[in-house]
Structure 1
């Protein structure tokens, strides 16, 4: 376990980024795990995170590589350490930042998995038919239509307040990462699916209130501690619907459907800045990866239509 002083320092750091940056609960948990792991490693060697030197941090990163941890994991842990020590320096806990000159392994640029438009259509059809009763099928249709129409993150989708969808709005206000709001348009199929689901949801909520249960503010209420469908449950639901659609469930996840939303928009001619806004990316660089998904398609287009790409007839 981290030394008491390190545990207090990590807790203070997490409280600060939660208050100042509106960091999500999952982000805070990830930071806590990564910093706790580094503190444990240093404590096991007689050191302490709060007193770590640049050499200590570099030795820790070398140990992660030796353990076979992925480049992405090592980059994430160094990022957590950089933010922690930047905070420590700003708060005058230390008069230096030992991570300032340490370069990480970087993240391998991995092309996002995606689905074709035909495959997404099969998923949407399968969602409408998946469930033991009309209520469940209406909920599933609403979930998948909303996800593909908006490209929401899973946490944003499952925690939508029902008030945001009342009155068949053409635009949806979404509270995203860092507490930042953005507007995303709703397609006609998504609005229709929402209308059907709200009818079923409200009827079920009314019955629950008659039994003494408090009203839910969520579009997709559930009995768990969060009060709405969990991210884990939706992840499993996506796998179920993929299998029903005849797709390999290993290829499909909520994030893959988000990628499909962005990729299909880009292929249809949407501006990259618009897609950045719709996805809620703070940095355009996070959105630019989608351009690589289209590289092969563009290459095929050039090879099919550019005059210099056509095979030349042999001279007589």
Structure 2
């Protein structure tokens, strides 16, 4: 078993044996979660993440690893630093610790604003450096094999071919793809109106192939899938319901296996990465790519230059006589 797997197993064992959260701490946590929900309207998953992080800190001080008898709302900077050090020594990932620090800053910032503390113990705590993994892009041959995997003689297969072609041609996020309304497509002008993150709208050009398969889907498959049911979404299931991300994820994995591509290396977002990488490989401008992907910051788009550079290095090493 790897060190990481052993760490996860140990934490699961500790979770089964962990003590209850102190009543006073539970009260502070509940007050904070209610307040931050009222202030920011966070999703249930985000609120639960805050709660879990704070409960973990409370339990830690009750365990052998704890070093203080104070309540959660009274912890000082040294206590929080010791907790972060404890987690780092028990194989918690940097990303998990970064999320924890976000929770702690929100909690102690709230205490400070409410007058329950005179200081913020998180003020000088530094977040861990997060690794920036390169997006995994398929080769152009792998993409071609994946695109031709669906059975176009079936309505669902024609739908999936159109979705794959559209995602690769436009670089859409999977949430943008499955959420497209029928009115978003303008085949006459060859563009797609996409509502991205932060409710930002952008126009994305469609290539000839994507237009061809979209036209076939709209003419042949969608009427069969929709039946007489009026549905606003563009891509539908056999029950005339909007296709969701999980269903499309399963379809991608199935088509990858049919195409001879390792399913573990393929994801809906991987087609977006492939779209960006292949455009750069063929000389696309970085600013234009930023607009097509709907990135608010160019620094987010620039990571694809690293992917392209890494692929060139691998190509050189493989084919150059002195590589």
TM range, normalised to the smaller chain?
A: 0.7 to 0.9
Match of 2:236 among 215, 221, 239: 221
Q: Which residue of 1 aligns with 2:144?
A: 121
Contact 1:161 1:219 in 2 (8 A): yes
The higher relative CO (CA closer than 8 Å, separation ≥ 6) is in 1
State whether structure 2 residue 252 is matched by structure 1 residue 235. no
TM-score, normalised to structure 1's length?
0.77
Aligned Cα root-mean-square deviation (Å): 3.2
Of 160, 164, 167, the match for 2:180: 160
Show the counterpart of 1:109. Answer: 132
The answer as to whether partners of 1:39 and 1:48 remain within 8 angstroms in 2 is: no
Q: Name the counterpart of 1:147.
A: 167
In 2, are the aligned partners of 1:114 and 1:256 still within 8 Å (CA)?
Answer: yes
Following superposition, the deviation at residue 164 of structure 1 comes to: 0.8
Q: Find the aligned partners of 2:296 and 2:205 in 1 and give their Cα distance.
A: 19
2:36 matches 1:13: yes
Q: Does 1:281 align with 2:304?
A: no
Q: Map of 1:54-133 to 2, 5 A cutoff?
A: 54-82=77-105, 96-127=119-150, 129=151
Q: 1:252 to 1:49 in 2, by over 3 A?
A: farther
The answer as to whether partners of 2:180 and 2:233 remain within 8 angstroms in 1 is yes
1:173 positional shift: 1.9
- 2:6 aligns to what? none
Query: Any unmatched runs of 5+ in structure 1?
Result: 210-214, 312-316
Q: TM-score, normalised by structure 2?
A: 0.76
Secondary structure of the corresponding residue to residue 172 of structure 1:
strand
Q: Which residue of 2 aligns with 1:38?
A: 53
| Secondary structure, aligned partner of 2:302 | helix
Partner of 1:205: 226
Structure 2: runs of 5+ lacking an equivalent: 1-20, 63-69
Q: Tell me: CA distance 1:256–1:300, structure 2 relative to 1, closer, same or farther (3 Å).
A: closer
How many residue pairs get aligned? The number is: 288
Q: Report the Cα offset of residue 289 of structure 1.
A: 1.4
